[in-house]
Amino acid sequence: MITLLMRVAKTIPNHACELVTLLLLGSFACGGESAPGVDAGSEADAGVDAGVAQATVCQSVAGTRLTRDVIELRPGVRQELSIFDTQNEGLCNFLGEEDGSFTCYPADAGGALFFQDPTCTAAIVGFATGQPPSAFQRTDRSSPDGCTTTREFRKIGAASAVAGGQAIFALDANGACSALLAPALDYYLGGPILAPTAFVTAQAELVSPTSRLSGQVLVGNDGSSMCASPTVALDSTLDTACQIRLAGDQETRCVPASSAKTGFFSDAACTISTEAVVVSSCQLEAPSYARQNESVACGAVARHILSVDSTASIQRFELVAATCVNTSTPAENYFPVGPEVDASEFALVGSELEESGGARLQRQLFTSDGFVSFAGSWFDSSLQLPCSFGAAADGSTRCLPVTMTPRGFFSDGLCSAPISLALVDECQAPIGYFAAPGVLGTRMLAATEHLDPVFDLVAGVCTVQTGSFYAPSFEVAPSSFEPGETTRL
Q: How confident is the model at residue 52 (pLDDT cuts 50, 70, 90)?
A: low
- With a pLDDT cut of 90, the percent of the chain lying above it is 77
Percent of the chain with pLDDT over 70: 89
What does the domain layout of the chain look like in residue ranges? 2-79+202-345, 104-198, 382-488
Q: What are residue 244's DSSP bridge partners?
A: 254
The strand ranges marked E within 172-235 are 177-181, 186-190, 200-206, 213-214, 216-220, 225-227, 232-235
| 13 or 362: which leads in pLDDT | 362
Q: Which of 91, 34, 101, 95 is nearest to 68 (CA)?
A: 91
CB-based burial, 245-268: b 16+ in 10 Å, e otherwise: bbbbebbbbbbbbbbebeebbbee
Q: Which residues contact 179 (CB under 8 A, 6 or more apart)?
A: 118, 167, 168, 169
Answer whether 37's CB lies under 8 Å from 321's CB.
Answer: no
Contacting residues for 151 by C-beta, under 8 A, at least 6 apart? 95, 105, 138, 139, 140
Tell me the pLDDT band of 202, cut-offs 50, 70 and 90: very high
Question: Burial of 418 by CB count in 10 Å (0-12 exposed, 13-18 middle, 19+ buried)?
Answer: exposed
| This prediction's pTM | 0.81
Question: For residue 75, what pLDDT band results from cuts at 50, 70 and 90?
Answer: confident
DSSP-derived 3-state class of residue 7: helix
